[in-house]
Amino acid sequence: MPFGGCDGPLSSARWGCAPRVRVAIRTTTDSEKGSMGRPRIKDVAQYAGVSAKTVSNVLNDYEHVSERTRTAVREAIDTLGYRVNIAGRQLRRGRTGMIALAVPDLDVAYFAELARHVMAETERRGSTTLLVETGGRREKELAALHGFDAQFTDGVILSPLALEPADLADRDTRLPLVLLGECNLPGSADHVAIDNVTAAREATGHLLARGRRRIAVIGGDLRGSRNTSRLRTVGHQEALAAAGVALRQELVLPVPAFRWADGAAAARTLMRLPERPDAMLCLNDHLALGAVRALHEDGWSVPGDLDVTGFDDIEATRYSIPTITTVAPDKRGIARRAVELLLDRIDADGPGGPAVDETAGHRLIVRESSGG
Amino acid sequence: MPFGGCDGPLSSARWGCAPRVRVAIRTTTDSEKGSMGRPRIKDVAQYAGVSAKTVSNVLNDYEHVSERTRTAVREAIDTLGYRVNIAGRQLRRGRTGMIALAVPDLDVAYFAELARHVMAETERRGSTTLLVETGGRREKELAALHGFDAQFTDGVILSPLALEPADLADRDTRLPLVLLGECNLPGSADHVAIDNVTAAREATGHLLARGRRRIAVIGGDLRGSRNTSRLRTVGHQEALAAAGVALRQELVLPVPAFRWADGAAAARTLMRLPERPDAMLCLNDHLALGAVRALHEDGWSVPGDLDVTGFDDIEATRYSIPTITTVAPDKRGIARRAVELLLDRIDADGPGGPAVDETAGHRLIVRESSGG
DNA sequence: CCATACGATTACATCGATGTAAATGGCGGT
DNA sequence: ACCGCCATTTACATCGATGTAATCGTATGG
């Protein structure tokens, strides 16, 4: 049943979603232990003069319930202020109706936006999303992978940062899992991501087309464990190669995290090089915003002196000064597909088919920071 | 028990938090229905040669369990890959160990940051946070108020926008509730917020001290239902009055939402007035960032032509161009206190004491957008 | 008027973990 | 040897909802 919704399509049609609240009137003389005196299905049954199972049938829109009974039960529910106890239902059904979404960091707007889409999609499909932050720490990602040491959720959508291939190899495959973003973990679980190599190639291509030749990559890294960095750096280098532009190793600069401060620090480092860059391909928007700010403080003009581009198309890039050229992933599509894949696996209730690898769309949005 | 943690202090000390995963080996010949063949407490008991209750005792760190037994049970748990079934525990205990945090919009960075703090705090205290977006819609806020039509959570922390006093009056008081932010709903539930009137007075005072006299309020509203707007507008007017500056009604401009686009639109509206403002007190940072952007596009300089200030101190205000003067609420303190109040109510397991009204700290951070 | 069918309803067992109270067993004291 | 004490362990009932299968009752066909 939908969390935050009502109990079943019929009842939700009948009552709407704003519950009328009346303090429950316990008519039974049962002891008041248990759930703080909340009425149980049995109380409703007694009040309505039917069996508990009939109440259950009404709740679950079982078809063979007479209109009279249905009405009586609903009145009882309404009067007593009854709500189903999820624990009981879940125990019986073996499903929680909840999935977990584990992302590294909600402060990173991309993940907040993605989370909204995932929550909207799961709600639409009658499930509930439990949002968890991993901080990009491996231990937390592992916990997510395994359902958090408790059978809390029916499945997990995980956007990993620190996870290693071996971690996925010996995971408990009974828990449905969908991975988001970049993983070098083929075949082990369903996976949804944009084509990062192509996206980075396009962004670099755009900068090259504007005549930039010394393009730095903030967040770039070919050897690190962060796959986003690797794939996007590869795309960058492919574009350089295709244009016959030499790669300068010193312009590819890894960062500890993908946040404003890291972008600002990286930009300053790069501008101290003997041969300064004339563009900065930042691997996410926060890095780009941080870089732009640092450049501004040091008296450089964007896009006058340098071009800057980002990734993710967070809302801030449309209002910053200058606005930021960025690669916009189809967040809605990613969320929708991820939820779809996960719920399908859950419904399949078994190993299901082989792992699916899906590519979501993206597009380059040129804005002021690279002359748009 | 902590979600995302381990089972109880002892076991978590014993095993650490990164679960070693082995595919469970079911030694019993029980039918494989139920939770997808996961081992139950009974299976562990059988494997370890003890009763189910003893396993439960080990799980819950009951003191009178011999070391031998404890070890045997733990080995069994480890071998079988057992995890407690929350549904069963919850049904028996009548608690879920989860609380809900309902905020209007995760895209609004303040709420994302607040959510992180709340999640960190609940995790520290052994609970789990279920994060829900209300979109500021009354029906969703009501749902949160009532525990989402299902006994999903032990309590709710709600940051309301659209809620009306009457909604709180007849709520089901069995569900512990803490309100965040501004509410004109005294006494009905615990409540944590900063002193908005004072904060706004300080911000306006700062602008007045800089010689600004025509100070617009973006998001301001004395009659609307949004309490944040009302209280901050009151503070603004108090400051004007104290300084003997006349209030211009046309400079107080309500907005439909507190996002970049609304700030941008409002700024444009204000600059079309016959007598233009010389400062804009924006009631959150997104409005301020949007206003700054719009002013920039139309050729106005901040802080040259106008000062702009915000509220909330989201991270973006430290990296925007210009950086934004803002009122920084003690988010950490708000989160900590809210969680504390809620968990106390939950532990009290009854009506508890009268509703508490707590004021969190805040401070004005002067940055470039008002000459800092 | 009886047999049949089927819609409506119900009794009962069950999901997994844990509180209660009672049983078990070892040990020291008399 | 008997008793009582206490640490340890266990049997059993229970939390609330629902699947199963059985029952009840009424309409229909022969």
Could you confirm whether domain A95-194+331-360 is CATH 2.30.30.30? no
pLDDT at residue A186 in the model = 66
Chain A CB within 8 Å of residue B169 CB: no
Topology (CATH level 3) of domain B196-330+364-370: Rossmann fold (3.40.50)
* Among the listed residues B195, B167, B191, the one whose alpha carbon sits nearest the alpha carbon of residue B180: B191
Q: pLDDT tens across A241-274, in order?
A: 999 999 999 999 999 999 999 999 999 999 999 9
As a whole number, mean pLDDT of residues A347-369 equals 90
Question: Would you say residue A203 has pLDDT above 80?
Answer: yes
pLDDT at residue B166 in the model = 82
- Smallest CA–CA distance, residue A126 to chain B, in Å, is 13
- How far is it, in rounded angstroms, from Cα B187 to Cα B353? 11
Count of A–B CB contacts within 8 Å?
203
Question: Would you say residue A165 has pLDDT above 90?
Answer: no
Question: For residue A338, with 0-12 CB atoms within 10 Å meaning exposed, 13-18 middle and 19 or more buried, which class applies?
Answer: buried
Parts of chain B with a pLDDT under 50? 1-35
Q: Is the CB of B59 under 7 A from strand C?
A: yes
* Nearest by CB: B116 against A107, A146, A319: A107
Q: pLDDT tens across B319-366, in order?
A: 999 999 999 999 999 999 999 999 999 988 766 788 899 999 999 999
**pLDDT classification of A36: cutoffs 50, 70, 90:** low
- Pair type for strands A252-253 and B98-103: unpaired
In chain A, whose CA is at the least distance from the CA of B1?
A: A150
Residue A166 or residue A280, greater confidence: A280
pLDDT at residue A218 in the model = 98
The three state secondary structure string of chain A is: CCCCCCCHHHHHHHHCCCCCCCCCCCCCCCCCCCCCCCCCHHHHHHHHCCCHHHHHHHHCCCCCCCHHHHHHHHHHHHHHCCCECHHHHHHHHCCCCEEEEEECCCCCHHHHHHHHHHHHHHHHCCCEEEEEECCCCHHHHHHHHCCCCCCCCCEEEECCCCCCHHHHHCCCCCCCEEEECCCCCCCCCEEEEECHHHHHHHHHHHHHHCCCCCEEEECCCCCCCCHHHHHHHHHHHHHHHHHCCCCCHHHEECCCCCCHHHHHHHHHHHHCCCCCCCEEEECCHHHHHHHHHHHHHCCCCCCCCCEEEEECCCHHHHCCCCCCEEEEECHHHHHHHHHHHHHHHHHHCCCCCCCCEEEECEEEECCHHHCC
Residues of chain A with CATH 3.40.50.2300: 95-194+331-360, 196-329+364-370
Residue B261 backbone phi and psi in degrees, to 5 = -60, -35
Residue A342 or residue A351, greater confidence: A342
Question: Would you say residue A316 has pLDDT above 80?
Answer: yes
Residue B138 or residue A174, greater confidence: B138
Assigned CATH class of A196-329+364-370:
alpha beta
Could you confirm whether domain A8-92 is CATH 3.20.20.450? no
pLDDT at residue A327 in the model = 98
In the chain, the amino acid numbered A250 is E
pLDDT at residue B225 in the model = 80
- How far is it, in rounded angstroms, from Cα A115 to Cα B37? 31
Least confident piece of the model among A148-152, A165-169, B224-228:
A148-152
Buried/exposed A224-251: b ≥16 CB within 10 Å, e otherwise: eebbbbbbbbbbbbbbbeeeebeeeeeb
As a whole number, mean pLDDT of residues A59-76 equals 94
pLDDT at residue B100 in the model = 93
Assigned CATH class of B97-193+331-358:
alpha beta
Pairwise CB contact (< 8 Å): A84 & B150: yes
B87 vs A contacts (CB less than 8 Å) = 87, 90-91, 96, 151
Residues of chain B with CATH 3.40.50.2300: 97-193+331-358, 196-330+364-370
Residue A24 or residue A353, greater confidence: A353
Mutation target to probe the B interface, by most B beta carbons within 10 A, among A321, A367, A368 is: A321
Mean pLDDT, chain A, integer: 87
